Amino acid sequence: MPSLQPLSRARLLPLSACVAIAAGSLLLASACSAGHGKSSANAVQAKPATGAAAASASGTALFPRSADAYLPGMPPPLSATDVYAADRPGELSPAVKDFPSRIYVPNTLSDTVSVIDPATYKVIQTLHVGHEPQHVVPSWDLKTLWVNNDLGNSLTPIDPATGKPGDPVDVHDPYNLYFTPDGKHAIVMASNDHALVFRDAHTMKVVKSVPAGCAGVNHADFSPDGKYFIVSCEFSGDLLKVDTAKMAVVARQRIPYNGSMPQDVKISPDGKVWYVADMMANGVWELNGDTFSVPTLLKTGAGAHGLYVSRDSKYLYISNRGEGSVSVLDFATGKLIHKWQIPGGGSPDMGGVSADGKVLWLSGRYNSEVYAMSTADGHLIARIPVGDGPHGLCVYPQPGRYSLGHTGVFR
């Protein structure tokens, strides 16, 4: 297929135009601002892997118990069988336990962030930020939220304890932001610059800019050992495999679908399957990350976009932006078990799951609204008006020991 150029994300085009702004901002290490403390691997204390010993003894362990098997400085998984074991309902880190529960919604066309109180389902604050905020991303050490002002070439820090924004930090083309699992580097997904930019997590100075060799780098997730991550390129339909320590693209492949626009990336709890949402193929691609196998497609719905794991690690919620629905995948069987329709339609995009696991929050990209949906049966709890072009919504705080970025990928 002809290569699509990354058009200006300032315009929100209809889905049929197939260059709609895709998603997933990621954040820099919270330590990039001196006022928020240092982001260091030593800041996260790994709890004893209580479930790992039993799993290992029974022969079912999937992940090594030795810290030497992981990216140096990375806190190993709490469980030998589940990378999301730290994300259970209410398991808040001491770093965030006193933060008020809020929903942060970046409005790309309004240059604002709407702040919602989930207890009342009402907007309680509107923050003015930089030009075209794409995502709100938790820092690695959980202490700061970063607003990715893509066309404003800056990151606006928000103190989640007070809800107050700080002084912007100059960062070029911060469409998305992730953190390496050791907390040392922030990774800027510089979509328009066609690059993955590794920055020092403390100073935000560029350490290494890696040419992506594809158009529209946007989403990613990390392997269980943290040694590599897989990136989606929405405008050229490519997937990249990147060596974390070497900061180098080690493999690349084109998705086998003409017109593919890959979006969010998520690994299964057991680390065996990688899922990549594709809003033009209308489903999720499944592949083995270790072998970087050719992916196979599971159809979910029109405009498949965001991917979110349930608090018990049993289900994957898939937002189908083009048809106003959410598909639910059972990790154990690999089958789709539900499709939840938003009454009257909508454009569910990016978001997250509440700390107690009971509510799925999603931005309504083309409808200037936010959806709160029950994870018990998918019914719509609330529909909340916000600014124009809401995108990378962040539910905060959430359970987890540290953040890998985006709208909240916690381990």
Domain CATH code at residue 145:
2.130.10.10
Given a cut of 50, whether residue 8 has pLDDT beyond it is no
pLDDT tens digits along 99-115: 999 999 999 999 999 99
With respect to residue 323, please indicate whether it lies within any of the assigned structural domains: yes
Q: Which domain holds residue 246?
A: 27-55+70-396
With respect to residue 8, please indicate whether it lies within any of the assigned structural domains: no
- CA-to-CA distance for 114 and 112, rounded, in angstroms? 6
With respect to residue 403, please indicate whether it lies within any of the assigned structural domains: no
Domain count, the chain: 1
Given a cut of 60, whether residue 241 has pLDDT beyond it is yes
Question: Sign of dihedral through CA atoms 397, 403, 405, 408?
Answer: negative
With respect to residue 293, please indicate whether it lies within any of the assigned structural domains: yes
Provide the pLDDT for residue 60.
65
Looking from the CA of 133 toward its CB, the CA atoms found within 13 Å total 31
With respect to residue 134, please indicate whether it lies within any of the assigned structural domains: yes
pLDDT tens digits along 350-388: 999 999 999 999 999 999 999 999 999 999 999 999 999
Asked if residue 86 lies in contact with residue 110, where contact means CB atoms within 8 angstroms, the answer is: no
With respect to residue 140, please indicate whether it lies within any of the assigned structural domains: yes
- CA-to-CA distance for 399 and 88, rounded, in angstroms? 6
Give the strand order in the sheet containing 283-287. Answer: 262-267, 274-278, 283-287, 296-299
- CA-to-CA distance for 369 and 170, rounded, in angstroms? 29
Q: What is the pTM of this model?
A: 0.87
Given a cut of 50, whether residue 48 has pLDDT beyond it is no
pLDDT band of 203, cuts 50, 70, 90: confident
pLDDT tens digits along 168-192: 999 999 999 999 999 999 999 999 9
With respect to residue 103, please indicate whether it lies within any of the assigned structural domains: yes
With respect to residue 358, please indicate whether it lies within any of the assigned structural domains: yes
Q: Which residue has the higher pLDDT, 153 or 200?
A: 153
Provide the pLDDT for residue 124.
98
Which residues have C-beta within 8 Å of that of residue 89, sequence separation ≥ 6? Answer: 311, 312, 355, 356, 357, 399
pLDDT tens digits along 287-309: 999 999 999 999 999 999 999 99
